[in-house]
Structure 1
Amino acid sequence: MTVRSLESVSSFERGLGSACTALRFGDGNLLAGSQEGALACWSMDSGNELWRVEIDGPISDLVLEGNRVYAAASSDLHVFDVDDGEIVWSRALEGASDYVRVHDGVVWASSSVYEIEISDYTESTVWMFDSSGSLQQRWTFPSAHGISTYTMTEGYCSDWAGRDAGTFGFAVARMRSITT
């Protein structure tokens, strides 16, 4: 078996200054976020860097939706303009930001609180924002005996919580649009 180097199979290679923690592409753009909080956007056609911003890291998740880039980073949720990297809005979350998804104009994010003193997760929160960044609703769940992590896919938010002796809990909530 022949082992190839990354350089031999990649269209272009770019650096962020620290480990890449999130990667998304769409509409001719490649977006990457790093452990230290670098967020960069490159043209997939030319490989040229279009913009770069520095925020508190790590960047745990990215979503590219329309002309917006949604970034879950450190304990915040940031929204940037995809054309120039200018910040549109930013909100502080409780704990570490985990995931972000956009569905029917609603921005969903999740965060987790980890207590160092007890070496365990104590709670997780799902946040629901409108497209302008106004908090619409939030749900906080205590974690019992282990890890609580959210997985968000289009239209659904799933929570699994590790339990003792190999058992686990699992819940799925349907994401819905805000109607007035």
Structure 2
Amino acid sequence: MTESQACHIMDLLGACWMVRSLEQSVSSVSFDKQNNLVAGGWDGQIRKWNSDGDLLWSENLPDRISEILFHKDQIIVTSGLHIVALNAENGQINWQHPLEGSADSAIVENGEIYATSSVYDIEHNDFLESAIWKYSLQGEQKWIIRMDERPWFILSHKSKVIVGLGRPMSGWGEVLPKGEIINHQLSTSSPIMCGTKDSKKVLFGHADGTISTSKATENKFTESVEILQATDNIRVASLEGGILIATDTSNQEMWTAKGSPISTQAVGFISGENNTHWLTRWSGVEGNLEVRNSADGKILAQSKIPQTRTIFSNDSRVVIGSDDGKIHVWEKEMFDRRIQSDGEGATQSTSQRDALKAKLRALRNK
């Protein structure tokens, strides 16, 4: 199947496995290990559906849901100024605590919660102060670390809690269990904008277009790195201005794609022999959803879509939440069947067109 055939035939939104909705714009989506879906909205609504798509519960929290975590029988979220723990079974709030400024992100490591917050000054258009918080699963605050730098992401890797830091210090920080942070400088002093990890190392995306690890510079692009995704075989960087670049683990460019500014991106489930790559763009007027073969960048399918700000994927499903409140879920087996049937249909249509052209040529030659 050629790229042009796929783009023409495949109706991506029509091929989704499930559509659900919130009563507000969707700000965060995630699956748990059983493929139960949880989605949060810009005004604090949070809902859970089981793996078959049945609504289990709905709850209203203080403000925008920006992070959704699952740990045992709890769902832990950041909601506006608060970090909140809910009962995963019925959605009841177990506990919640206000942080200082916006509650940005959180992780669970070694049975404890690490959260980041930041205070933004509208007048100066910059972040004034940030903090890292540690809580027990029961909601007991253990400690707080205040800093001038904003942690642009937090993740755990090989039992270490790592944050990527902005100005003035930049570099990355290792957060110790007892409430200390060790700063590490990188090969560039440019502020970190985003980060991700594969099974071996953490990757940092910088404002000057650099992608680095704790030991070296891996790549340098002309635009800021806004979103970074990685597996053990591929790295995909979204750059300011709408450029998407995929590189292999030797840092060689595999493919690139240009277009409107990129809203979200994720490496998705395997289709055929390779992972899919999912991407949404927003021009300021309209949105577009593109699904590619991650090995060569060829588009498998695409559709118009309202503005989106959140995406999540696992080995069998991809979910995207949009500003119109819609939540679209694609399932691997259904996606594969649709790709295959559309390919067969495209081949049949091409054969029919070729046969018709041959008949017309024969008539002209009589």
Say yes or no: TM over 0.5.
Answer: yes
Does 1:169 find its partner at 2:170? yes
Task: Provide the C-alpha distance between the structure 1 equivalents of 2:119 and 2:151, rounded to a whole number of angstroms.
Answer: 10
User: What does residue 152 of structure 2 align with?
Assistant: 150
Aligned residue among 153, 160, 165 for 1:160: 165
Task: Provide the C-alpha distance between the structure 1 equivalents of 2:18 and 2:166, rounded to a whole number of angstroms.
Answer: 39
User: What does residue 78 of structure 1 align with?
Assistant: 84
- Identical columns (%): 22
Does 1:110 find its partner at 2:111? no
* CA 12–157 in structure 1, closer or farther in 2 if over 3 Å, else same: same
Task: Provide the C-alpha distance between the structure 2 equivalents of 1:15 and 1:73, rounded to a whole number of angstroms.
Answer: 19
Supply the AA of the counterpart residue of 1:172: G
User: What does residue 44 of structure 2 align with?
Assistant: 37
Supply the AA of the counterpart residue of 1:95: G
Instruction: Spell out the pairing of 1:123-138 with structure 2 (5 A cutoff).
Output: 123-138=129-144
* CA 22–77 in structure 1, closer or farther in 2 if over 3 Å, else same: same
Supply the AA of the counterpart residue of 1:171: W
Supply the AA of the counterpart residue of 1:34: G
Structure 1: gaps (5+ residues)? none
Q: Residues 125-144 of structure 1: CA distance to partner in whole angstroms, max 9, x if unpaired?
A: 0000111111101101014x
Deviation at 1:118, TM superposition (A): 1.7
Does 1:58 find its partner at 2:59? no
Supply the AA of the counterpart residue of 1:28: N
User: Do 1:78 and 1:89's aligned partners in 2 also have CA atoms closer than 8 Å?
Assistant: yes
Does 1:48 find its partner at 2:54? yes
User: Do 2:43 and 2:63's aligned partners in 1 also have CA atoms closer than 8 Å?
Assistant: yes
CA RMSD of aligned residues (A): 1.9
Aligned residue among 84, 100, 106 for 1:100: 106
Structure 2: gaps (5+ residues)? 1-6, 180-366
Q: When the two structures are superposed, what TM-score results if normalisation uses the length of structure 1?
A: 0.86
Task: Provide the C-alpha distance between the structure 2 equivalents of 1:89 and 1:162, rounded to a whole number of angstroms.
Answer: 33
Supply the AA of the counterpart residue of 1:150: W
Deviation at 1:156, TM superposition (A): 2.1
Deviation at 1:177, TM superposition (A): 8.2
User: Do 1:111 and 1:126's aligned partners in 2 also have CA atoms closer than 8 Å?
Assistant: yes
Supply the AA of the counterpart residue of 1:170: G
Task: Provide the C-alpha distance between the structure 1 equivalents of 2:62 and 2:107, rounded to a whole number of angstroms.
Answer: 20
User: Do 1:81 and 1:88's aligned partners in 2 also have CA atoms closer than 8 Å?
Assistant: yes
Task: Provide the C-alpha distance between the structure 1 equivalents of 2:154 and 2:15, rounded to a whole number of angstroms.
Answer: 31
Structure number with greater CO (CA < 8 Å, separation at least 6) is 2
User: Do 1:74 and 1:96's aligned partners in 2 also have CA atoms closer than 8 Å?
Assistant: yes
User: Do 1:103 and 1:175's aligned partners in 2 also have CA atoms closer than 8 Å?
Assistant: no
User: Do 2:76 and 2:85's aligned partners in 1 also have CA atoms closer than 8 Å?
Assistant: yes
Q: When the two structures are superposed, what TM-score results if normalisation uses the length of structure 2?
A: 0.44
Judging by fraction of residues, say which structure has more strand: 1
